[in-house]
Structure 1
Amino acid sequence: MSAQTPLHEFSKFKVLLIELALAMGGFGIGTGEFAIMGLMPNLSSDLGVSEPEVGHLISAYALGVVVGAPLLAILGARLFRRHLLILLMAFYALGNIASALAPGYDSLMLFRFIAGLPHGAYFGVAALVAASLVPANQRAKAVSRVMMGLTLALLIGNPLATVLGQSLNWRYAYLFVGGIAALTAVLVFFFLPLNRDEPRNRPLHEVRAFRGAQLWYALAIGAIGFAGMFCVFSYLAPTLLNVTGVDPFWIPIALAVFGLGGFVGNILGGWLFDRLQFRSVGLLLIWAIGMLMLFPLATGSVWSLLLICFLVAQMSALGPALQTRLMDVANEAQTLAAASHHAAFNVANALGPWLGGMAITAGLGWQSTGYVGAAMAAAGLGIFMMAWRNENGAQLVAEPD
């Protein structure tokens, strides 16, 4: 069985089962990553810390992704993808169960860091598996279907975890995530066959191949440009309570609307990249700047806030677009580049709450996160323009007179 063209080996139903198993992992990871945002007031009260300090727990998880994505991708380069996916999901289950049992703020900070370690490597390997199941011109859509689990986490998992945490205790949200991760490991074991012919690489070979300006441009766009969405999303719950002035009942509703926007954006991103290629990234960043600038103006009414949440969340379209872009420019460092994509997005997940928290602490108000986010998206657009000029300039030099 060929690792590059297994489309001829598997039925559509078999491919669907594999994508379902991989997407389940994305659902668990997305719920684990974002649950804290809906439960920020609960954790603040229970742990006796401020809400910006709870934001540091988000940054700790994101730092775990940044450290773990390249490290585990390199260490796992010689493993079969099936085995690596199962190990990563087992690791994720343990990290979240430990988070649920953490006795205090400092230990929870450590366990959130540990839980973040397998995040990027899982998504990177899952994206490579998904892309190998379809023809080359359908890769972005295949990646978006697997990433759909992440957007469904925003739509269903995160609101469900919020309700669970509000009605019982925030610890049950992480137990829920640990169970999803364990289920994913079982599904991958049963649905994804072991392919002994798939290409494997030596760890040092992956590192040596991990170079090239376009690869680093793509990672920088994700790390900086996508921070705008996290800047708003991380403080959505306290913005609803302190600015819009609504009952906590509205928090899971707003999170579900945000998730619906991410779901639509994820599908849009795969579709758009398959048609426009790298140009789609620039268009998505321009859209993001406009929507983030509108966010502070929409916080006065719950209905306008729900609408802008849906529109801002469509920044998720950058996910499959940049993931596929990295596959195009990574050459022989496919596993490391695919995992590093999620490390870059979690730099954004750390940078967004940090910069937003600075603006809030400085007295600029909860709604100032929209302006800070727009500035980050604009910086991402600037990096995109540098990448575009670099690529097209190189093509002109390469063309004969």
Structure 2
Amino acid sequence: MKGTLPALMVCVFGVTTGEFVLAGILPGVAADLDVSIPAAGLLVTAYALGMIVGGPLLTAITAGRPRKPLVLALLLVAIAGNLISALAPGYGVLFAARIVTALVTATFFANAIVIAISAAPAGRQASTVAKLAFGMNLAMILGAPLGTWIGDAFGWRATFLAITLTCTAGLLLVARLVPAESWISAVGPGVSRAEIYDSMRARGSALAELRVLRGREVQLAIGITAVANVGLLMVFTYLAPLLTDVGSFTAEAVAPMLLVYGLGATVGNLAGGWLADRALLATQLGALTLLVALFLAWWLSSGTTLTAVLVFATGAVGFSVIPGMQARVMTTAAQAPTLAIAVNASAYQVAAAFAGWLGGRVIAGPGLRTIYLAAALTTVLGIGLSTVAWLRERSVVPVNS
């Protein structure tokens, strides 16, 4: 069981890099396929839509299946999707390949988490999930910059080929190191195979708990995720052209800047969790307000030596709100937190899809630099929703002086 977590971390790193790396190779994709930057940005929207649709649907269809064979099958689809992306003869094929890859991503993550927990020693389940999630952080810190560097040196197709090889290595590690029946221990010892399947099918019928989503506080918490993250995701999606065309950076500088962004995101994620434990909504409001200020600073100072600082700060502040958003959803949906978190993840992908589309419309209209102002405006909407949630909470929970 010792090799289970490292094997899954390699898979998570590869799959997640495939999601994040497009931000760094966007100009190369657009130039090579002879499409506009906004059209290339829609590839981010395609991936997000694939996750929104594929996550709930595929997870429901595969409920009760043995997890190791399922994970291997999902990885095969991801490998095929990235390989087709590398070999795509045109924009349409690449667009379809991104959707196919995204369809299996959410279901893969869900099953990987269950396998990791089942393999964890007693009392260390939470830290195990945190280690698995570090594969995602590593994809942003290392995967996206490295993929961008590969794209700059050998072309964007080489980036997708490298991701294909990484996912293939992960698949071989899972096949070799993850025990075939490791998923059974997640249910409990002394349980028959039939009882395991019945238990998993019962958990898969979470649709019966959809009534929890009718709660106003749950809807508001999920709505904040969908709205407040649009600005950050818009800037991240078009970060490469913003740096090269607005900020006058060279294409070679994009990879180091993505590394700086990823380091900021990691720091912000850890700090945001610590702060949210102490004052959740206050932290969220403060961070979103600071994020608006950062977007305005980008707009005013594009092309200056402050850019590296702004890149780090934007990653840190933007990702500092995510732990609190997740905690808020779990708090407001205590009766069905797993279902609510799944819907909240879809809401985040809705934000990503809308960010890619809206950013493209802004570029086609007032121009690339206006992305910063559009990001600030959408973040203000998130502040408005967060303020409503804060006021509703204060009206229900007395404040002790």
Please report the TM-score for the alignment, with normalisation by the length of structure 2: 0.82
The residue matched to 1:352 in structure 2 has which SS? Answer: helix
Task: Identify the residue that residue 6 of structure 1 maps to in structure 2.
Answer: none
Task: Identify the residue that residue 322 of structure 2 maps to in structure 1.
Answer: 319
Alpha-carbon distance, 1:235 to partner: 1.5
Q: Distance in 2 between matches of 1:333 and 1:89?
A: 29
The answer to whether the aligner puts 1:62 opposite 2:26 as a matched pair is: no
Alpha-carbon distance, 1:259 to partner: 1.3
Q: Is the 8 A contact 2:24 2:240 kept in 1?
A: yes
| CA distance 1:49–1:252, change in 2 (3 Å) | same
* 1:306-345 to 2 correspondences below 5 Å: 306-314=308-316, 315-331=318-334, 333=336, 335-345=338-348
The answer to whether the aligner puts 1:194 opposite 2:180 as a matched pair is: no
The answer to whether the aligner puts 1:73 opposite 2:59 as a matched pair is: yes
Larger radius of gyration: 2
Corresponding residue to 1:46 among 32, 48, 53: 32
The residue matched to 2:251 in structure 1 has which SS? Answer: coil
Alpha-carbon distance, 1:386 to partner: 3.2
Task: Identify the residue that residue 240 of structure 1 maps to in structure 2.
Answer: 243
The answer to whether the aligner puts 1:221 opposite 2:224 as a matched pair is: yes
Alpha-carbon distance, 1:265 to partner: 1.9
Q: Distance in 2 between matches of 1:44 and 1:162?
A: 14
The residue matched to 1:39 in structure 2 has which SS? Answer: helix
* 1:2-401 to 2 correspondences below 5 Å: 14=2, 19-79=5-65, 82=68, 84-126=70-112, 139=126, 144-188=130-174, 190-191=177-178, 193-198=182-187, 200-202=200-202, 205-210=205-210, 211=213, 212-277=215-280, 279-301=282-304, 303-314=305-316, 315-331=318-334, 333=336, 335-363=338-366, 365-391=367-393, 393=395
Alpha-carbon distance, 1:332 to partner: 6.1
The amino acid that maps onto 2:372 is G
The residue matched to 2:21 in structure 1 has which SS? Answer: helix
Alpha-carbon distance, 1:310 to partner: 0.7
Q: Is the 8 A contact 2:115 2:183 kept in 1?
A: no
Q: Is the 8 A contact 1:261 1:313 kept in 2?
A: yes
Alpha-carbon distance, 1:186 to partner: 4.1
Task: Identify the residue that residue 191 of structure 2 maps to in structure 1.
Answer: none
Q: Is the 8 A contact 1:123 1:342 kept in 2?
A: no
**CA deviation string 1:329-370 (max 9, x = no partner):** 44565554443333222212111122222222112x322212
| CA distance 1:216–1:237, change in 2 (3 Å) | same
RMSD: 3.1
Q: Distance in 2 between matches of 1:283 and 1:170?
A: 38
The amino acid that maps onto 1:147 is A
The amino acid that maps onto 1:195 is I
Q: Distance in 1 between matches of 2:21 and 2:393?
A: 39
Alpha-carbon distance, 1:201 to partner: 4.0
What is the count of residue pairs matched by the alignment?
379
Alpha-carbon distance, 1:233 to partner: 1.3
| CA distance 1:92–1:334, change in 2 (3 Å) | farther
Q: Distance in 1 between matches of 2:117 and 2:272?
A: 15
Q: Is the 8 A contact 2:42 2:360 kept in 1?
A: no
Alpha-carbon distance, 1:271 to partner: 3.0
Alpha-carbon distance, 1:327 to partner: 4.1
Task: Identify the residue that residue 196 of structure 2 maps to in structure 1.
Answer: none
Where in structure 2 are there 5+ consecutive unaligned residues? 188-198
| CA distance 1:151–1:225, change in 2 (3 Å) | same
| CA distance 1:145–1:203, change in 2 (3 Å) | closer
